[in-house]
Structure 1
């Protein structure tokens, strides 16, 4: 006889007495997206999708962003068979999302096309080796879109059931009835739907937005307060740690505009960046006539506000044209390079009233301590994950690709270069790229290689 004691205990905690101690994996609970508590509906769905042997999904809307959230689990658990039932309701489902699902031979896809509104959202998973608690279900408000699974205010109920539970049986019966009357989705069906989708898609119209003076965002306001507090505490330097794209350059410009230093120096490591940095300062309100470039091509040494490349500034004949106390305020961009001899030479030479270092990645692989360079005074810190959570950056999906075995050897960073570039491995990488990319023909990619 099957023992249901553990499951009964979970149901007792969930529906009768919350003080009962039960296995939290199976206790019924509300699933929400909560940034403060770092909870997402997606987390539970992925945890089930990775280990199930079959699944049934019923959603009103499918988008490419939603498929991208689930793609890694679908690829990793290719042995699981699945049925996904979606809807043509409001023609909101994206044709591209349907095409993505057609890539998975283990997944069947059908669409409800009747005029009656189909708005059912449920995710049912079966795990054959889980004991009596072999069904788990998420049912509620979340469609298969990235916003619904990760950001929107959603309510979903998670529960576990044995196979003979009436709720599971009713759910499967309802799903099967809808499935039997829905249309099979293939490329021909998608092409026909795509014409309807495109025709009904709202046309974008250009809207004139009058230019307004650039103002600090929430992160920049907090960072400016942190920099000012360091100065109020008598500190002469500080480190700003902020993810790429969050507005470090503008932030420093706001502070410089506030402080109005008599002479100012901005140091970068590339000439392309130095011109962009000056343009940012001018947009904030710095008088362009007061700015000058110090590069291999430009030597505007007499300007009050100088934007310099480290390569030019660190040359003795340039560096020593300035007195150590020439600049009241110095900003070092990408200061994770600060351990290099050229940076050390410049930092040690000048004696500004305040030195601000900016970087997204202060950690270095060598022994040089960027934190110590700024006396461990951190003005403000916002890392990539936090910036994404605050919607300061465009979200992206990161996929790790498992290596393959060639000639009985698992390839890794120490493998022979000839093996790393072998045709089999290259084909594997290209295949995974096609699988992972939501829109392969329009995808852009960055590749990183250790040298």
Structure 2
């Protein structure tokens, strides 16, 4: 019988060693392994933990008088040229094993050592105000006495809590220690006296969030910064009150920079982001601040500010409106569309998400860019909407007298900024305004644009900028205003994730439920089933109805008081479901598009009335668009859909906020689907980036409060569908391309292979990653040219299937240029590829462009193995011999330019010879050539250059390459918060571990302006994307602001151009 201890089943994070492999396992078990690559963020921390565990175990077995010698011996192995950094000194030779701990470096005139907390600075602890433990209040007092900076994050402040700490806060002020406090008016719980006392008596800097509806700051935490590096913090349940600090049943965790540096770094990063956020406003104790705080606390206590002070007047000169993150993203995308020459644009966002404020911020930006107040016409169909819109514009423009009304018998006098109803404009003489009188025309609820009244107005006015606002471009009559008026373009659309993360919508709980149906035998064409077949199948399936009723009872707290909408196949299916629910004593009815307006109003009013017995309304498409019922708290998805647009419209019917509604419950009944049905299309709209992977399904990262639960069979189906969608078979892609080309021929369209990529992707709901992220059976990179060849659309290309040929090499590398998204680079690349220009014809800027292009294909600088490095002309000559690949690149770039939502700006005004544009994407090879590193004799090719800092003495630039997500497998606080955005214009960055402030690079970072050096910041979220190695977004030049620490230096850079809003949403340390 073995004496070895049998390991228990369960989760581990143990490194694979000879020792672990020798341990006995239970019968019929095996290890699950996960590889940690050398470049992975957790590689160092995993090794360090393992060594620490082994050293601790060895020290336990060692006599006290031998431990120091053992440690000294280990440390000598780590010494560098200057000798060991850390060797313990014995107090004296007679003290066997005693350690002398240096506890304070104090001035000689200071007679007593400083007071210390009871918990050692290098320890972590859980404090519960248990009499046997240190009391939180007493620990905080002691921490305050030795801190060099103090940060407090607290959802509310009480005067009793301030008084408990008064003596120490007074000392803190006299010592000149910075003290920052962030708090809120949440529930009206803060005492204004407490805030005033902190500011006026103790010199604290205080910032307050006055948001009543969307602030989710319930944190309570202290951070005590110490210049020695021994910083500490407390995170837990205690607000700043007497009870919380002394004898309340509170739990608080003490954290330490020496033990939990990752958590302390995360705390610091989050606090800095909050501190710099527009959401938190400075409180100085002025009369204006006191009035605002009193009013906000009163409103929060009552519940709604409107009922408390109905006649409250706002002084707009005090109001400074900043865009929410989701609005900032939409503004960026709209600006990008205009930069591409599109001046008729449609913005899509759900009702209640701030479309009007968004349009006012956009108008303000247009005015600032033009240097004058532009003439504005704002059109809506209701006077109430116009009154609200005019107030919103007045607030954004900080002008209480902004605009004139043109409705209800009121006629504008100055005609500069006019808010008009469509009815008034349509009935008025067009001679009142010339067609080009208004610079900007904004049309609210643009989905009504097909009506004759709108048609007359839209065809008459010719503004410089037209902006349509709508909750959905689709109408119930099947028309799409984006297709009718904007060439099918939606300039910007509020993503579901962004709206949920901004707390504009109620969170959802989505349940994917297998309903035991089998639809694989039904007709499935062009992404949908035949309604007649589907309806007939459901009407004959009593078991499905029983399952639906069972799930409603299980998932809904009180089914007889829910407010639900059920989406059905057709009239008969809707009627049938209403009857079945009524039989189960759940009051229900059905409502269709051809019902009278009177019946619609009656049913909707009943559903809105909490006292009415009606719980559920079944429909087909009536509630997809237009009807707003915030009270809806349950959605029943009773027909399959793979359309992400339709899915989001249906979700939108239940996501509106309403009193007493905490969450939307979505029950999606999913059967075995026909071949070709794609779950990924609708479900990827629930992810942040719009990309759905198997890991996202199994471990979803969702906005706060949201959840997705799939039963086992549904998850199997979804995962299978996603894997097929992410990695479609090459044969399927080629067959679909052949079918698509034949369809085009049948429509009498000329099939032009040089223009086929974009319509093909659109037809099958594909993205570039579906092609360029794949490989052929032979393991070479898949290209559209290969698919054209397989589909018989082009003549056979020489060398396309020949291993080791230049053609094969180009196939593998073409995806490295799929990131190009700025017009200048595309224009220059195209000229280099399609015209007979040579090195002698090129400027220095163009030569670097050329090397950027060439190194993208040949990072080693050699066309064939064993050859010498090619010249610029030789490289261009070789590329020009492959016309199909050139045409493919041109199609890729056209697609990228059309779908990208950034607005690149050339760096040429700052540095004419550096061919970079801010907010454009670049590969590592392109960055290498752009800053002239190839002109350095020592390192003239980018292959093998994988460091995070490139220093070019040719162009006097330093490229800083940042990966935001250091680990793509796990959340790791140790590395996640080293590089992050503090604000849109400030970025925190960690240097290389070898860089100290007094080192050569450290001095350059601090004094780059004086030394004529220009740091350039490049950022990407992850190392890999759907295509392969992810490109970097060029943020732009940065300027040194401050730093802390050494080896590495933690530097704060000031950005010359703010981060694009979508990248800021990923790069900031807080949600």
Bigger CA radius of gyration: 2
Under a length normalisation based on structure 2, what TM-score does the superposition of the two structures give?
0.21
Q: Of the two structures, which has the highest relative contact order with CA contacts closer than 8 Å and spacing of 6 or more?
A: 1
